[in-house]
Amino acid sequence: MRGMAVKTARLEIRLEPKERELADELARHYGTTVSDLMRLLIRAAAANPSSTAQPILVLDKRTLAQYVRNVRALGHLLNQSTHALNAIAKAVRESGVDALDLTEAMEGVSYSLTEVRRDADAVREQAGRLTGMPLVFQ
């Protein structure tokens, strides 16, 4: 049933002052509330009850947004590089480009492709570390 509010239950826990400070500090660090932090911890434990056997990846909203933003930026850079290569190929086909202009254009594309390669390698490395880990997010 879409549009209907989900009923929530209230959970009270008693914390020592130091534990509450730690909870507040963690929530601030991850840009979330203590309630959301507790929900994440519950989901993480439910995703992998034997947590000592395998690590759990917990993504807070800010981290997930940063990751998505970085992947989109990488895609944008790749798209720009592809457009540049297509423009160079068209210019070469039309044979109206002198060698100096072509060389300058290729240097710009080479720089962009180096950036794309570096960023793609970083994303590939991150994805490799995440493979096989249970994922919990809000």
* Span 123-133, pLDDT tens digits: 777 766 665 56
pLDDT over 90 (residue 20): yes
Assess if residue 1 is contained within a domain. no
33-50 confidence digits (pLDDT tens): 899 888 878 877 777 666
Tokens of 54: 């395998």
Whose tokens are 């994922």? That residue is 135
CA distance 108 to 30: 38
Q: Is residue 117 part of a domain?
A: yes
Tens of pLDDT along 80-106?
877 877 887 777 777 766 777 777 777
Tell me the C-alpha distance between 5 and 93, whole Å: 60
Within a domain: 79: yes
Residue 64 lies in a domain: yes
Q: Residue 23: what pLDDT? A: 92
Count CA atoms within 13 Å of residue 73 on its CB side: 11
Q: Which domain holds residue 62?
A: 17-137
69 occurs within a structural domain = yes
Number of domains in the chain: 1
Q: Is the pLDDT of residue 138 over 50?
A: no
The candidate with the shortest Cα–Cα distance to 54, out of 124, 135, 137, 116, is: 135
More reliable by pLDDT, 92 or 76: 76
Q: Is residue 7 part of a domain?
A: no
Mean pLDDT of the chain: 76
Q: Mean pLDDT across the stretch 73-79?
A: 81
Residue 34, domain member (yes or no): yes
What is the three-class DSSP state of 136?
strand
Judge whether 11 lies within some domain.
no
